[in-house]
Structure 1
């Protein structure tokens, strides 16, 4: 398997709960951030998808937690497509503590491709599927500083 797309970011203080770990709901935000950077690397960004006449809608988001992440730790989110249907696709995001290599959480986000004006389901065009499969492979965005 090729090296997946990687998004590095630092956990901020306000993202942690009273227990001192990343609040569980933040992983939805983290998934969204990682996927947006993935789309930027693969397609030129979400605005490019809209320019082509499409948008995406989240229809399923599943997160499984394995270990805590804490303030100021750097997480590496590896993003890769794990399923394609006719009108939907799933991106898997694996969150790993960059310093220790420990798997922190895994999210699977399923999106439906829709028309940008009517919001009706659309068949995923071959060029978009190809870009999602190959366009971000091996790229890395580092916002961790």
Structure 2
């Protein structure tokens, strides 16, 4: 399963992220996923990432997230957040994330994001150039 991923981002659990049970508070996993997604796009789009958002060309926004918790992360754990896009539509794309501690799978997630234009407050088509970059990076089938 992890062999399906071409990208991962590592981080360490900080004290402010644990709760009274001494485990990572569940909402922080969404933050971890968001961080990994941002770094994923930095890898694919290089220095274009910010300018594409500022020009209202490509600015993904979260539409849906589903998390499945298997085991908790704890203070000082190193986590690897795996991220991949597995489906691209006209205005949206679907991602899969797996958060691990070593060989243990802690959390699995499916995410839907839309290309959002903040000026019009609407979803807009993903530019073909960006679709091609994602398709090449992920080695997705072309239609």
1:14-57 per-position Cα deviation (integer Å, ceiling 9, x unaligned):
10111111110101111111111111111126413315523122
Supply the RMSD in Å over aligned alpha carbons: 2.1
- What is the alpha-carbon distance in structure 2 between the residues aligned to residue 96 and residue 133 of structure 1? 25
Q: 2:52 aligns with which of 45, 49, 52?
A: 49
Q: What displacement does 1:2 show?
A: 5.9
> TM-score, normalized by length of structure 1?
0.82
Tell me how many residue pairs correspond in the alignment: 135
Q: What displacement does 1:136 show?
A: 7.6
Q: What displacement does 1:96 show?
A: 0.6
Q: Could you say what secondary structure the match of 1:28 adopts?
A: helix
Structure-2 change in CA distance of 1:134 and 1:72 (3 Å)? farther
Unaligned runs of 5+ in 2: none
Q: 1:122 aligns with which of 121, 124, 128?
A: 124
Matched, 1:68 2:72: yes
Residue pairs, 1:20-99, within 5 angstroms: 20-44=22-46, 46-51=49-54, 53-98=57-102
Higher relative contact order (CA 8 A, sep 6+): 1
- What is the alpha-carbon distance in structure 2 between the residues aligned to residue 27 and residue 50 of structure 1? 24
What's 2:109 paired with? 107
- What is the alpha-carbon distance in structure 2 between the residues aligned to residue 70 and residue 134 of structure 1? 36
Whether contact under 8 Å (1:82, 1:91) holds in the other structure is: yes
1:93-135 per-position Cα deviation (integer Å, ceiling 9, x unaligned):
110102xx10000122211112353232222222111222344
> TM-score, normalized by length of structure 2?
0.83
Moved over 4 A (4+): none
Unaligned runs of 5+ in 1: 138-145
Q: Could you say what secondary structure the match of 1:47 adopts?
A: helix
